[in-house]
Amino acid sequence: MNESDEGRQPLVGADPDDVAALSGEVAELRELLSAVTDELTQQISELAASGTTAGASGEGMQVSPESWLDVSIARAPKYIAEVVEWAQTVGPHLSPPLLLQPCWMQHSSVVQAIADARAMWRWLYRSELARPYEAIDWTLRHWPDLHKKILSAMEGCKTNEAHQEKTYLHVSKWTIADVKPEAYERDAQEFAARGNRPANEDE
């Protein structure tokens, strides 16, 4: 008998053997529950440490945000390519839509903002841990606020000549030309073809 059983009155009319058997089953259930709890705690800790969550395919998926200021030169091309792909495939379908000046990759604050938006979007719609209310909060509050900050950062960049940020990237030894994907050139050409106006400006 453990301490929690002390002071309890025996069941009136209960068979001692039945009571003993029931107590044994309860003890086994407690041990099983403790083992399951320990296992879940360990799994949660491992997920938190690795920065991944189980995706729909059951495979681990990177959703943790990365700081643009911490990205290495080796990682930068893939980082930029991932951000560009998201900005072009998902960004235009958001509300409000993400419409960028072609110089946006020369603004480290804009690159970081879009990378953060991408990480949040992937967490909400590509992981199994996000909740519906978080998606609603993102749609109604977080994305509109972030969208305003992105536009504000490029307010003076109405034409290529008016580009306001003189420094390209956070590492002085290399420029955007070292990491930009082909999509950047395509955006610049389309921008020039529109007379240096953002897409849908007249709509």
3-state secondary structure of 175: coil
42 strand-pairing partners: none
- DSSP β-bridge partners for residue 54: 60
**CB burial of residue 47 (10 Å; 0-12, 13-18, 19+):** middle
- Give the Cα separation of 48 and 91 in Å (integer): 28
The tokens for 135 are 């998606």
- Residue 93: the pLDDT is 92
Per-residue pLDDT of the chain (203 residues), as tens digits, is 555 555 555 555 667 777 778 888 888 888 888 887 877 777 676 666 555 444 333 344 555 678 888 888 788 888 888 888 899 899 999 999 998 877 787 788 888 999 999 999 998 998 888 888 899 999 999 999 999 999 888 877 765 545 555 444 443 334 444 555 555 455 545 544 544 444 444 44
Q: What single-letter amino acid sits at 130?
A: A
* Residue 145: per-residue pLDDT: 94
Q: How far apart are CA 54 and CA 60, in angstroms?
A: 5
